[in-house]
Amino acid sequence: MNSRLAEFFQLAVRQLFRRKFRVILTVAGIAIGVAALVGTVALGEGIRTQAVDAIRTQSDLTLIEALPGVEGNVLQLVTPTRAAAAANLPGVAASAPVVRGTFATRGQTYVQVIGVPADGLEGVLHPAYLRGSGFSPGSNEVVFGAALGEKLQRYEGVRIGDPLVIIRRSYDAQGRPVDEETTVVPVGVMEERGDAYDQLLLMDLDLAVRLGEGDGGYSGILIRAEGPDRVFSVAEGVRGIGLSPRGSFEQIEAVNRMMDMVVIFLGIFAGLSLLVGGLMIASTMITSVYERTREIGIAMAVGASEGDVMEMILAECAVLGVIGGVGGDLLGVLFAAVLNVLGGPFLASRFGDAFAGLLDSEIALVTWPLLAAGLLLAVVLSLLAGLYPAWKASRLNPVEAIRSGR
């Protein structure tokens, strides 16, 4: 069987070399289609990789916050039982329940407060400090985010170690506002993180509860995944216990959804050019069968079966597909290389420093699986395009085919 196929392919190569110009045009059509597909997908994957890498660099990707979820129009609260379940999820390195609230200073600066256990602050947030250190368990010590610490120091003169009065407003039975003052002691300012924690005041969970926060249970659960590769599985586990995960991983999910749509959209147009290449193969093979009617008739007269004729024609189509696929892959790699050399400087010159990072990076990302897919698609499409010409050839009447004189 293998030797027979090898003979068919050798015969196919000889037949194709007999009509070089027509073959070149046909191969060019399929190659351009493959190159368009490889180039557009490589561009989409390159942009996706750049965006995901930027998110990984600029965000705390392994930090997830589990918030109350909704199942069947029922709000699922963050209870101690769910907090314990979240801590035991596979891939979780550390977790800590939190409560949130809003306070104000005497200088009328509104402060978002988060209460977290002292060990959770270190184990989950992994803070680094510009000044001072973390708070002690059960104390009235607090820690500022970088932006909040700078703001309070600039406008209210608040410094590390100086008592700070924060005010919580509540309402009595008659609906009248009641302000409750509490004195806390700032003991540290965290380094800039580039996220919401730069604007927060952090205190011990017990202190936040004593101040009246968390009456309805926890506001959420901070979860530290073991690594970036475990984030999405941990997020699914959080959904599995009825809570809603939030974190930087959502940006990656959004980028993936957007780029999937972009790649599909561009791939449709590239697929149209590939379809044109397939039609060219079908036209070429139909013409070839017409020109070789007598030759095919003689082959059938001396013992070639209908299956042999179909295999012979399809072998020619496969050879055209391989040549077109390889040529398309090479053109796609060349297109990606041009984008990588010229695309970064062009975007940087057009849009300034926001795209300066593209100067030394790959805008289009070509991978071996992508090239293999391009080659496979070219061969499959070529075989599909050759099915009708092959069937047509196999149905020839040997006597009439020989008499045709073609």
- Say whether pLDDT at 185 is over 90: yes
Provide the pLDDT confidence category of residue 224 given band limits of 50, 70 and 90: very high
- Cβ contacts of 361 within 8 Å, gap of 6 or more: 50, 344
Q: What is the pLDDT of residues 87-125, one digit of tens each?
A: 999 999 999 999 998 899 988 889 999 999 988 888 888
The confidence score (pLDDT) of residue 89 equals: 92
Tell whether the model's pLDDT for residue 360 goes beyond 70. Answer: no
Q: Rounded distance, CA 299 to CA 203, Å?
A: 89
Task: Decide: 151 and 157 in contact? Cβ < 8 Å.
Answer: no
What pLDDT score was predicted for residue 346?
62
Query: How many whole angstroms separate alpha carbon 170 and alpha carbon 211?
Result: 11
Q: How far apart are CA 204 and CA 188, in angstroms?
A: 13
Flag whether pLDDT at 85 surpasses 60: yes
Asked if residue 186 lies in contact with residue 161, where contact means CB atoms within 8 angstroms, the answer is: yes
pLDDT digit string, tens, across residues 283-301: 877 887 777 778 777 877 7
Own/partner pairs, 294-297, CB within 8 angstroms, 24+ separation:
294/401, 294/402, 294/404, 294/405, 294/406, 296/393, 296/396, 296/401, 297/396, 297/397, 297/398, 297/399, 297/400, 297/401, 297/402, 297/404
Q: Are 115 and 208 in contact (CB under 8 A)?
A: yes
pLDDT > 50? residue 354: no
- Which is more confident, 10 or 155? 155
Give phi and psi for 264, each to the nearest 5.
-65, -45
Measured distance CA(183)–CA(120) in Å, rounded = 23
Check: CB of residue 324 under 8 Å from CB of residue 277: yes
Q: What is the pLDDT at residue 7?
A: 62
Phi-psi region of 212 (alpha: psi -120 to 50; beta: other; left: phi over 0): left
Task: Specify the pairing of strand 177-190 against strand 141-144.
Answer: parallel
Q: Between these two residues, 345 and 386, which has the higher pLDDT value?
A: 386
Query: Tens of pLDDT along 140-161?
Result: 999 999 999 999 999 888 999 9
Residues 6+ apart with CB under 8 A from 164: 105, 142, 152, 158, 183, 184, 185, 186
Residue 13 has pLDDT above 70, yes or no: no
Mean pLDDT of 78-90: 90
What does the domain layout of the chain look like in residue ranges? 2-57+254-404, 63-227+238-244
Q: When comparing pLDDT for 251 and 218, which is higher?
A: 218
Six token digits for residue 136: 């002690």
Q: Are residues 267 and 41 in contact, defined by beta-carbon separation less than 8 angstroms?
A: yes
Average pLDDT along the chain: 82
Count CB atoms within 10 A of the CB of residue 290: 13
Mean local confidence (pLDDT), 209-226: 83
Provide the residue type at 220 as one letter.
Answer: G
Q: How far is CA 97 from CA 101, 105, 128, 310, in A?
A: 14, 25, 21, 69
**Residue 213 corresponds to which tokens in the numbers above?**
């926060």
SS3 letters across the chain: CHHHHHHHHHHHHHHHHCCHHHHHHHHHHHHHHHHHHHHHHHHHHHHHHHHHHHHHHHCCCCEEEEEEEEECCEEECECHHHHHHHHCCCCEEEEEEEEEEEEEECCCCEEEEEEECHHHHHHHHCCCEEEECCCCCCCCEEEECHHHHHHHHHHHCCCCCCCEEEEEEEECCCCCEEEEEEEEEEEEEECCCCCHHHHEEEEEHHHHHHCCCCCCCECEEEEEECCHHHHHHHHHHHHHCCEEEEECHHHHHHHHHHHHHHHHHHHHHHHHHHHHHHHHHHHHHHHHHHHCHHHHHHHHHCCCCHHHHHHHHHHHHHHHHHHHHHHHHHHHHHHHHHHHHHHHHHHHHHHHHHHHHHHHCCCCCCCHHHHHHHHHHHHHHHHHHHHHHHHHHHCCCHHHHHHHCC
d(CA 57, CA 308): 59
For the segment 351-361, the average pLDDT, to the nearest whole number, is: 52
